[in-house]
A = this chain, B = another copy of it.
Amino acid sequence: MTENAKNKQNLKELVETKDFVEHLSIDCVIFGFHKDKLKVLLLKYHDLDLWCVPGGFIFNDENLNDAAARTLYERTHLSNVYLEQFYTFGDVRRTENNVHQKLLENKNIAVEENHWIHQRYISVGYFALVDYTLTYTFPDSFNEVCRWFDISELPELAFDHKEMIEKGLLHLRKNIDYQVMGSNLLPDKFTMKELQHLYEAILGEPLRRNNFQRKILSLNILERLEKHFTGSANKAPYLYRFLDNSEIKNLDFDK
């Protein structure tokens, strides 16, 4: 079977599925960090110059959060990712100009006008910070390529996915200390400079070194380790690690 015929078959099977919860979908905004840049993971639609965040539907007998993990795996082969809900997108107009219609037309697949794929969809937005390791592509019924994009250089996006990415980024910025601490975007031991670069990439602006260091240390989420010897001994920086949740004593007001 040719690639094109296989895609058509996949898409046909998808639209013939009868046991999805109607009106409801899932979308995953997946951030990564590479060479001091914040990246987001996008999929390209077949035959169109249009991208989207990995998303999918929920089976009738499936828990919402399980569907999010499954859908992300099916689309990207990322597993064991800690997905966190950040917002549910429910404007009436968000699924107007439905790209699915175009995909079906392109493949000559006919569905009734009131088919679920053309309905209004409310989408639960999930969010993750992952290692920047995904390098392959996973063609499926909708999408042909999976790729990281710099958040300052996004391609054209379907539906309201640009707004989703912006809202996901705001969520990340607002919760930056918890999120960065819980992620594995840095090696186990890191320098203050590496941590500052990660914060700068997420916040999208340069930070003053002294201010950053003072604020981050006041959070009491870091332990200072031995110095990191690079050869030029007089410049050896300290290494740090994030404390485990069980080690954090000073986050609360009263401890």
Contacts and interface: CB of A to CB of B under 8 A. Distances in A.
A160 interface: no
Interface string A72-98: 000000000000010111111000000
A253 interface: yes
A208 B254 contact: yes
A6 interface: no
A58 B88 CA distance: 13
A207 interface: yes
A23 interface: yes
Interface residues on A, range: 35 or more
A88 B91 contact: no
Interface in A134-192: 174, 178
A253 B212 contact: yes
A21 B62 contact: no
A163 B253 CA distance: 25
A65 B87 CA distance: 11
Contact of A64 (B58, B122, B215, B218): B122
B61 A92 contact: yes
A182 to B, nearest CB: 13
Contacts of A178: 174
A183 to B, nearest CB: 17
Interface string A225-255: 0000000000000000000000000001110
Nearest to A199: B253
Contacts of A254: 205-208, 211-212
Contacts of A122: 21, 24, 58, 64, 124
Per CB-CB distance, the 4 closest pairs between chain A and chain B, nearest first, are A64-B90, A207-B254, A63-B91, A88-B88
